[in-house]
A and B are shown apart, each in its own frame.
Chain A
Amino acid sequence: MRRFLPLLVAATLLAAFPAAAQNAIPEIAFDSAANLLTLPDDIYLGEVGGVATNSKGDIFVYTRTGHPTVSLGGARAFAHGGSRLFQFDRTGKFIREIGQGSYGFMFAQQVRIDPQDNIWTVDQMTNFIMKLDSAGHVQMLLGRKPEAIPVPAPAPRGDGGGAAGRGGLPGAGAQSDVFNRPTDVAWDGAGNIFVADGVGNARVAKFNSKGVFIKSWGSRGTEPGLFGTVRAIAVDAQGNVYVADSGNKRIQVFDNNGTFKTQYTNVGTPTALCITPGPNQFLYSSNSNPPEDFDVAGEIYKMKLDGTIVGKFGRAGKLPKEFGTVNAIDCRSENNLLVGEISNMRVQKLTLR
């Protein structure tokens, strides 16, 4: 018992510390342009799943909008629509819609732009990762949309479902590009593709630049290397993979082959990640509020890649400079961020001072 006591004291200290530690985190002053985007009269943004910029500063917004529809077939029912992808110039002026009516768009989850200015969309309902060139033409598809939709939907499982893949492990998924509610995509310097998969599965899948499956790692659990819910993913210049394991309230860091390196457990519930480009990289992570509660969380952390917290900013709310369930961060420029919000249905441009 005596040997356990110090441990107990340590645990108590740890439990007591986060609040104190948070007080020590500097607040980063910032401004917001909440009316950045100018929309045509007949276009309305819905919940913003993703926002990203390309090398010219054009802004891409992948949003849940319109009417997600179930239509009645013979023996099965079919689901359509509900999300759209828009392009704006750097001043927020509307340029065009991309992929209108696409089979891959139903529940906008994320959009990312790769170094060649290709546009990648991640859809949580069609399970498609779509690569479009900068002209908006489909270049590659990972995943496949379920042909039909069960009506009524089966009751959600406590563990989030997901295929019992490798060795029968829950959420491990298949050794392929069959996704279950994927959430994000990232690339390393060699062009390898990393998919966060996701809400249904609990794994990270790695493909080469041609879309050939290389490996996947993780299954549902709480140990290092396992995941609760995988919400976001980012890769640094060394090829290390940062995974927002929101279900376990931590960021896990892996090497390029999926070997666990470390984890950061002091930034709330990581929901959106972004790593800045350039030689001195920073990691942004949003402790997003849940859509049903604006009185908790909401702040975004700026960190060094080693997990040191540089500062934090923002809180949950509906005013400018407040956040409603941030789902996407664009950090092409370290101090000029774009954030996309689910429950405020908007994009804010943030200037950090």
Chain B
Amino acid sequence: MKRCLALVSAIALVLCAAPAFAQQKATAQNVPEIPYTSVPNLLKVPAGEFLGEAVGVATNSKGHIFVYHRSANTRLWEFDKNGNFVKEIGKGYYGFEFAHSVRVDAQDNIWTVDEGTNTVTKFSPEGKFLMVLGRRPPAVAGAVATPSGPNPPAQKYIFCRPTDVAWDPQGNIFVSDGYCNNRVVKFDKNGRFLAQAGSEKPGKEPGQFNLPHGLQVDGQGNVWVADRSNIRYQVLDNNLKPKTVYDNLGVGWTVCVSQGPHQYVFASNSNPNGNPPGSWAITGEIYKLELDGTIIGKFGHASKEFGGFQVVHMMDCRNPNEIVVGEIESWRVQRLILQPTPTKTSSAR
């Protein structure tokens, strides 16, 4: 009995000591490393200005880089393809309070997702306001206490800390929503509600979410969702019916689908904020996949040094061999030049 007790104690100790993030380790095996280099000094930030948490990055068809970041105020900056500062967009805009995502659509319109104001905003390529989805909670209600307890019922046109936006080839709008709803919402191109998957409640079943943290739509109209707190990615069809779950890629932080006739998916098992002991050993890498889920390779690792990652929050993969990553910590945007991988000839799955 005494020996048993000791064993039980030892197991308990191990279990207790095991960091909570241990489950975040990706289970995919024998994934080849994709060599890459990071372009030094990519962004030339104007003198006297500082980049903050670089949670949103995107490029347009001209290669311009948009960075939506948490500075003293949340701000949206445009750089050219060489990283030279072009201009600020949305200065003082009512829908900017706490950045979460920026994406550029097929017409080069710029879309921001702000989790502080619960808004998704469409700007023209020149940065003029075109449309807003959601609504900033009115200030006249006063300084609202941080909610606790179950989330209130989700409303069609109101978000609760939304996280990302995407479009299908027809222009329908998809929003991942978010930290205090747990759903994916589909609108038509004019912003009229069509459907949702999930609800305000977190859930583990296919088609349910626990912190849908990012999403993108592939050329077939399938919706790839980074289902972060469920530690998985989910693919939904265009009507938001669940199709596939990928639970072998670690934490579903953020997802990117490249353009062109042969699309690739990039999925980041980002290291957790706060860098708990041991976390760098099991998280921080980005996976490159075929649309059918076949893993091609992985690259990157957690590090505070240039070339490594500090909580990758968003990826731009317009060119699948040049990935722009925005990191929460280290306030950094990097352009990664990937060694091209051979094009798949037959499905391995």
Which A positions have Cβ atoms within 8 angstroms of B?
39, 41-47, 63-68, 70, 77, 79, 82, 106-107, 124-125, 149-154, 156, 181, 199, 291-295, 317-319, 342-346
In the assembled complex, the CB of B133 is this many whole angstroms from the nearest CB of chain A, namely 8
In the assembled complex, the CB of B90 is this many whole angstroms from the nearest CB of chain A, namely 6
Beta-carbon contact of B131 and A318 below 8 Å: yes
A304–B78 CA distance with the chains assembled, in angstroms: 52
Query: Per-position contact with A for B73-92: 1 when CB-CB < 8 Å, else 0?
Result: 10000000000000110111
Beta-carbon contact of B143 and A70 below 8 Å: yes
Beta-carbon contact of B144 and A44 below 8 Å: no
Beta-carbon contact of B138 and A107 below 8 Å: yes
A291–B88 CA distance with the chains assembled, in angstroms: 29
Beta-carbon contact of B90 and A44 below 8 Å: yes
In the complex, whether B348 has a CB less than 8 A from a CB of chain A is: no
Chain B residues with CB under 8 Å of A106's CB are 139-140
| Closest partner residue, chain B, to A66 (CB atom) | B92
A59–B342 CA distance with the chains assembled, in angstroms: 61
Chain A residues with CB under 8 Å of B280's CB are none
Beta-carbon contact of A125 and B140 below 8 Å: yes
Query: Per-position contact with A for B44-76: 1 when CB-CB < 8 Å, else 0?
Result: 000000000000000000000000000001000
One of B73, B144, B155, B156 near A153 (C-beta < 8 A) = B144
In the complex, whether B158 has a CB less than 8 A from a CB of chain A is: yes
Beta-carbon contact of A295 and B156 below 8 Å: yes
Give chain B interface residues in 163-177, CB to chain A under 8 Å. none
A70–B193 CA distance with the chains assembled, in angstroms: 33
Beta-carbon contact of A294 and B143 below 8 Å: no
A46–B114 CA distance with the chains assembled, in angstroms: 14
Beta-carbon contact of B132 and A149 below 8 Å: no
In the assembled complex, the CB of A221 is this many whole angstroms from the nearest CB of chain B, namely 23
Beta-carbon contact of B155 and A345 below 8 Å: no
In the complex, whether B327 has a CB less than 8 A from a CB of chain A is: no
Beta-carbon contact of A67 and B143 below 8 Å: no
Chain A residues with CB under 8 Å of B135's CB are 291-292, 342-343
A296–B251 CA distance with the chains assembled, in angstroms: 40
Given A293-B155, A293-B156, A294-B193, verify A82-B139 contact (CB < 8 Å): yes
Chain A residues with CB under 8 Å of B136's CB are 46-47
Beta-carbon contact of B193 and A44 below 8 Å: no
In the complex, whether B127 has a CB less than 8 A from a CB of chain A is: yes
Beta-carbon contact of A294 and B157 below 8 Å: yes
Beta-carbon contact of B94 and A77 below 8 Å: no
Chain B residues with CB under 8 Å of A42's CB are 88, 91-92
Chain B residues with CB under 8 Å of A150's CB are 142-143
Q: How many A-B residue pairs have CB under 8 A?
A: 102
23 pairs from A and B in contact (CB 8 Å cutoff) = A39-B128, A44-B91, A63-B94, A64-B94, A65-B92, A65-B94, A77-B143, A82-B139, A149-B143, A150-B142, A151-B142, A152-B142, A156-B141, A291-B157, A294-B156, A295-B192, A317-B190, A317-B192, A318-B131, A318-B191, A319-B190, A342-B135, A343-B157
Beta-carbon contact of B192 and A345 below 8 Å: no
Beta-carbon contact of A125 and B139 below 8 Å: yes
In the assembled complex, the CB of B276 is this many whole angstroms from the nearest CB of chain A, namely 31
A68–B140 CA distance with the chains assembled, in angstroms: 9
Q: What 11 new A-B contacts, CB under 8 Å, besides A46-B95, A149-B143, A199-B140? A: A41-B127, A44-B93, A106-B139, A152-B144, A153-B142, A293-B156, A294-B192, A318-B191, A343-B132, A343-B157, A346-B129
A68–B191 CA distance with the chains assembled, in angstroms: 26
Chain A residues with CB under 8 Å of B131's CB are 318, 344
In the complex, whether B145 has a CB less than 8 A from a CB of chain A is: yes
The 7 closest A-B pairs by CB, nearest first: A153-B142, A46-B94, A152-B145, A68-B139, A318-B191, A44-B93, A151-B143
In the complex, whether B97 has a CB less than 8 A from a CB of chain A is: yes
Q: Which of B127, B132, B140, B193 has the most CB of A within 10 A?
A: B140
A45–B93 CA distance with the chains assembled, in angstroms: 7
Chain A residues with CB under 8 Å of B88's CB are 42
One of B95, B140, B156 near A107 (C-beta < 8 A) = B140
Beta-carbon contact of A295 and B92 below 8 Å: no
Given A152-B142, A152-B143, verify A318-B192 contact (CB < 8 Å): yes
In the assembled complex, the CB of B189 is this many whole angstroms from the nearest CB of chain A, namely 10
Given A292-B135, A295-B156, A318-B190, verify A44-B140 contact (CB < 8 Å): no
A344–B121 CA distance with the chains assembled, in angstroms: 10
Beta-carbon contact of A43 and B157 below 8 Å: no
| Closest partner residue, chain B, to A153 (CB atom) | B142
Chain B residues with CB under 8 Å of A65's CB are 92-94
Beta-carbon contact of A344 and B129 below 8 Å: no
Given A41-B127, A46-B94, A294-B157, verify A107-B139 contact (CB < 8 Å): yes
Query: Per-position contact with A for B145-160: 1 when CB-CB < 8 Å, else 0?
Result: 1000000000111100
In the assembled complex, the CB of B78 is this many whole angstroms from the nearest CB of chain A, namely 12
